[in-house]
């Protein structure tokens, strides 16, 4: 994605954790940042991003309103679908409501956002040869690693919602292949955030730095790939 053209990024779930770290990073790098959040945090408000957009990815109306507020004539070079929810569950404790909530936010939401901002991405791709949709997934969602990352039980809602996200993204990548876009998935590593109970290997800033390094090298030829935090390819 290297280019001298001023760039714009849309980040969902930008109020805290990894999303906030992305917003800080791109603001510091001089990007135009469109920060989407249900409720902007004080830290996000203090960043001075280009625009704050009220965005609940679980609401189709909210996604449409966010796209309308940004405007189809605004080029967006990178969409980072970071917003997500995590509800620990087991065979006994999992409920339909919790599973559906995680599917709605973790899988359907990113797809809705990606579709709503396709005109913006296509416009950016004409300027800089490629525009990127980056979805935050997880290694444990990989069916190809089911004997490794998926070898422990439970996490029914989170695991399968991310697997659904992978499939939706793979399908989206086929639809946008001719438009100069690259849809990729990123495993952020085990990150110390509210979602993980502040347990993990990486801080949000460390995780974001590694993911940005990957995104900087993405071209249209990488459309449909699933990256681990070290840059290696994760099987679907």
Got the DSSP string for 134-162?
EEE--GGG-STTTTTTT-S---HHHHHHH
Structure tokens at 156: 């029914």
Render pLDDT for 202-231 as a digit per residue (tens, 0 to 9).
Answer: 999 999 999 999 999 999 999 999 999 999
Query: CA angle, 33 as apex, 6 and 63 as ends, to 5°?
Result: 120
Residue 235 lies in a domain: no
Confidence band, pLDDT 50/70/90 cuts, at residue 197: low
Render pLDDT for 112-123 as a digit per residue (tens, 0 to 9).
Answer: 999 999 999 999
β-sheet bridge partners, residue 8? 32
Residue 140 lies in a domain: yes
Instruction: Specify the 3-state DSSP secondary structure of 84.
Output: coil
Q: pLDDT at residue 132 above 60?
A: yes
Q: pLDDT at residue 150 above 80?
A: no
Q: What is the mean pLDDT of the chain?
A: 94
Q: pLDDT at residue 83 above 70?
A: yes
**Closest to 234 in 3D by CA, of 143, 164, 108, 169:** 143
pLDDT of 145: 83
Residue labelled with tokens 């935090």: 229
pLDDT of 193: 74
Residue labelled with tokens 């449909």: 224
pLDDT above 90 covers what percent of the chain?
A: 87
Rounded Cα distance between 64 and 78, Å, is: 18
Instruction: Specify the 3-state DSSP secondary structure of 23.
Output: helix
Structure tokens at 38: 């249900």
Residue 2 lies in a domain: no
Instruction: Specify the 3-state DSSP secondary structure of 81.
Output: strand
Work out whether strand 78-81 and strand 131-136 pair parallel, antiparallel, or are unpaired. Answer: parallel
pLDDT of 4: 60
β-sheet bridge partners, residue 34? 10, 51
Query: HEC string of 161-206?
Result: HHHHHHHHHHHHHHHCHHHCEEEEEECCCCECCHHHCCCCCECHHH
pLDDT of 6: 78
Domain count, the chain: 1
Longest dimension (CA), the chain: 54
Rounded Cα distance between 208 and 23, Å, is: 10
Buried b (16+ CB within 10 A) or exposed e, 223-232: bbbbbbbeee
Residue 85 lies in a domain: yes
Residue 24 lies in a domain: yes
Residue 153, domain extent: 8-227
Yes or no: say if 133 and 222 are a contact pair by the CB < 8 Å rule. Answer: no
Rounded Cα distance between 80 and 98, Å, is: 24
pLDDT of 109: 99
Render pLDDT for 8-58 as a digit per residue (tens, 0 to 9).
Answer: 999 999 999 999 999 999 999 999 999 999 999 999 999 999 999 999 999
Q: pLDDT at residue 7 above 60?
A: yes
Residue 23 lies in a domain: yes
pLDDT of 87: 94
Structure tokens at 127: 């300027």
Q: Where are the alpha helices (DSSP H) in 71-144?
A: 96-103, 109-116, 118-128
Residue 38 lies in a domain: yes
The average pLDDT across 94-115 equals 98
Q: What is the CATH number of the domain that holds 111?
A: 3.40.50.720
Confidence band, pLDDT 50/70/90 cuts, at residue 147: low
pLDDT of 201: 82
Render pLDDT for 168-186 as a digit per residue (tens, 0 to 9).
Answer: 999 999 999 999 999 999 9
Residue 234 lies in a domain: no
């Amino acid at each position: 994605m290297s280019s001298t053209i001023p760039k714009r990024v849309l980040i969902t779930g930008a109020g805290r954790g990894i999303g906030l770290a992305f917003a800080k990073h791109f603001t510091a790098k001089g990007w135009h940042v469109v920060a989407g959040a249900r409720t902007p945090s004080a830290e996000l408000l203090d960043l001075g991003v280009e625009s704050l957009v009220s965005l609940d990815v679980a609401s189709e109306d909210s996604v449409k309103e966010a796209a309308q507020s940004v405007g189809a004539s605004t080029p967006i070079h990178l969409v980072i679908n970071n917003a997500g929810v995590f509800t620990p569950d087991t065979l006994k404790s999992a409920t339909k409501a919790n599973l559906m909530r995680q599917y709605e936010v973790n899988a359907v939401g990113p797809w809705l956002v990606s579709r709503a901002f396709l005109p913006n991405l296509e416009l950016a791709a004409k300027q800089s040869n490629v525009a990127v949709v980056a979805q935050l997934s997880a290694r444990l969602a990989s069916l190809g690693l089911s004997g490794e990352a998926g070898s422990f039980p439970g996490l029914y809602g989170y695991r399968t919602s991310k697997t659904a996200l992978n499939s939706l993204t793979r399908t989206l990548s086929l639809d946008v292949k001719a438009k100069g876009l690259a849809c990729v998935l990123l495993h952020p590593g085990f990150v110390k955030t509210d979602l993980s109970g502040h347990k993990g290997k990486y801080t949000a800033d460390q995780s974001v730095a590694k993911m940005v390094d990957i995104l900087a090298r993405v071209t249209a030829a990488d459309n449909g790939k699933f990256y681990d935090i070290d840059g290696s390819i994760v099987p679907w």
